[in-house]
Amino acid sequence: MKHFRTLLIALACLIAAGPLFAGGSQQGAAQAGGPVKLTAIAVTHQLTNDITTFKWLKELQQKANVSVEWQQISADWGDKKAALFASGDIPDMIFGGAGGTDFSVYNGLFADLVPLIESSGPNIKKMFAEKPAVRVLVTQLDGKIYSLPKYNKIVNSVASLMFINKTWLDRLGLQVPSTWDELKAVLIAFRDNDANGNGDKTDEIPMDFNQLGGIFTPHYLMGSLGLPISNYGQSGYFAEDGKVKNWFFDDRFKTLMLFLRDLYAQGLINKEVVTQDYSQYQSLGRNDNKYAKVGVTFGWDRSDRFGDALGPEYITVPPLKYRADSTGRVFYSNDTYIEGANGDNWSLSARSSNKEAAVRFVDQFMDPVVSAQAWLGGISDNCLKDNGDGSYAFIMPSDPQMSPAIWAWTNSFRYAPYYIADYLKLEPEPSYAEAAIMREPYLEQLGYYNNSNIYPESFMKYSAADNQTLALNETNIGSVKERWAAWLVGQGDIEAEWKSYVQSAIDAGLNKNLEIRQKAFDAYLKAL
Burial (CB < 10 A; 0-12, 13-18, 19+), residue 527, is: exposed
Closest Cα to residue 163, out of 247, 266, 285, 270? 285
DSSP letters for 330-390: ----B-HHHHHEEEEEEEEBTT-S-HHHHHHHHHGGGSHHHHHHHHH--TTTTSEEE-SSS
Q: Report whether 273 contacts 208 (CB < 8 A).
A: yes
Residue 57, amino acid: L
CA 157 – CA 137 distance, rounded (Å): 18
Residue 159, amino acid: A
Q: Report whether 224 contacts 319 (CB < 8 A).
A: yes
2-154+339-379+415-423 and 161-337+438-446 have identical folds? yes
Q: What is the pLDDT of residues 143-199, one digit of tens each?
A: 899 999 999 988 778 999 999 999 999 999 999 999 999 999 999 999 999 999 999
Residue 528: its pLDDT value, please?
A: 66
Q: Report whether 57 contacts 48 (CB < 8 A).
A: no
- Average pLDDT per run of 10 along the chain, which is 528 residues long? 34 37 40 84 94 97 98 90 93 93 88 98 96 86 92 86 98 98 98 96 96 90 96 93 98 98 98 94 93 96 89 97 95 86 92 97 98 97 97 94 88 95 93 86 93 87 86 94 96 98 98 97 81
Query: Distance between alpha carbon 130 and the CA centroid of its chain, in Å?
Result: 25
Q: How many CB atoms lie within 10 A of CB 350?
A: 17
Residue 154: its pLDDT value, please?
A: 82
| 3-class secondary structure, 407 | helix
Closest Cα to residue 26, out of 91, 83, 70? 91
CA 356 – CA 376 distance, rounded (Å): 27
Indicate the CATH number of 161-337+438-446 among 2.40.50.140, 3.40.190.10, 3.30.1360.40, 1.10.645.10. Answer: 3.40.190.10
Residues paired with residue 341 on neighbouring β-strands, in sequence order:
151
How would you label 249-267 residue by residue, b for 16+ Cβ within 10 Å and e otherwise?
bbebbbbbbebbbebbeee
What's 166-196 look like in SS3?
HHHHHHHCCCCCCEHHHHHHHHHHHHHCCCC
Sheet holding 294-299, edge to edge: 205-207, 294-299, 161-165, 314-316
Burial (CB < 10 A; 0-12, 13-18, 19+), residue 149, is: buried
Residue range 2-154+339-379+415-423 forms a domain whose CATH class is alpha beta
Query: Distance between alpha carbon 40 and the CA centroid of its chain, in Å?
Result: 21
What are the residues whose beta carbons fall under 8 Å from the beta carbon of 224, sequence distance 6 or more? 180, 319, 320, 321, 322, 326, 330
What are the residues whose beta carbons fall under 8 Å from the beta carbon of 305, sequence distance 6 or more? 163, 282, 285, 286, 297, 298, 299, 311, 314
Q: Report whether 88 contacts 407 (CB < 8 A).
A: no
| 3-class secondary structure, 198 | coil
Residue 462: its pLDDT value, please?
A: 86
Residue 456: its pLDDT value, please?
A: 86
Closest Cα to residue 355, out of 120, 33, 71, 89? 120
Residue 147: its pLDDT value, please?
A: 96
DSSP state of 157: S
CA 500 – CA 489 distance, rounded (Å): 19
- Cα separation values, 112 from 140, 343, 351, Å: 10, 14, 11
CA 410 – CA 47 distance, rounded (Å): 5
Q: Where are the domains of the chain?
A: 2-154+339-379+415-423, 161-337+438-446, 459-527
Kind of pairing between the strands at 237-240 and 341-348:
unpaired
Residues paired with residue 386 on neighbouring β-strands, in sequence order:
392
